Amino acid sequence: MRRYRRGQLFLIEIIVALSILFVLIAALFSTQQFSPPADTSNLDQLGHEILSTLVDSDILFTYLEQASYSFYKIGERIFDNSNETKVLVFDTIESGIPLIAGFKAYAYQMNGGQWDRVDIVNFEVTLPSGSETIVNEYYTPGFNGVFIEYKFQLLLWFEVQI
């Protein structure tokens, strides 16, 4: 009888000890919830700043006009990568984002009620499959004989998951 009770106590002790260990480890990991949320995913804000920079320096507008000309008048699906304005757009975006972030951008023009994709910046890059992509869009009217509408879509993501 005495021996049986001692075995029972030992068993309970082991179970309790294990569960305490488990809960303590779980609590240790959950303590990060007490700290303020980490400010890692500020890509949205960053994308907006980059677009503002492009707009203020008039680069974006010139680029959209040239891309539109290339698409509709020359008939090239992708606007020449070595074009000076396109390189400026590329460099402005690339220098504005963190090293571990990737980007891709699309230029659209309104054509009879639907958006034509007239050009792609950073064409070679494929969109990430396991990462969150932030989309920033900028709309601007333009003129080439008639009133036209452009929109520029900037996609940003982290190459490394944070």
| Interface residues toward other proteins, by CB under 8 A | 9, 12-13, 16-17, 19-20, 23-24, 26-27, 30-31, 33-34, 37, 44-45, 48, 52, 55, 58, 61-62, 65, 136-147, 149, 151
Nearer to other proteins, 33 or 126 (CB): 33
Q: How far is the CB of 99 from other proteins (least distance, A)?
A: 24
Q: Provide the 3-class DSSP secondary structure of residue 158.
A: strand
47: DSSP letter: H
Nearer to other proteins, 50 or 101 (CB): 50
Q: How far is the CB of 3 from other proteins (least distance, A)?
A: 14
Nearer to other proteins, 124 or 147 (CB): 147
Per DSSP, what are the bridge partners of residue 109?
116, 150
Task: Measure CA of the first residue to CA of the last residue in the chain; give whole Å.
Answer: 58
Q: What is the C-alpha to C-alpha distance for residues 80 and 25, in angstroms, rounded to an integer?
A: 56
125: DSSP letter: P
- Residue 143 phi, psi dihedral angles, 5° rounding: -145, 125
Nearer to other proteins, 123 or 139 (CB): 139
Q: For residue 128, which amino acid is it? A: P
**Contact call for residues 98 and 160 (beta carbons, < 8 A):** no
Nearer to other proteins, 4 or 34 (CB): 34
Q: How far is the CB of 85 from other proteins (least distance, A)?
A: 9
Q: How far is the CB of 41 from other proteins (least distance, A)?
A: 10
* 23, HSE (Cβ side, Cα atoms, 13 Å): 6
Q: How far is the CB of 124 from other proteins (least distance, A)?
A: 28
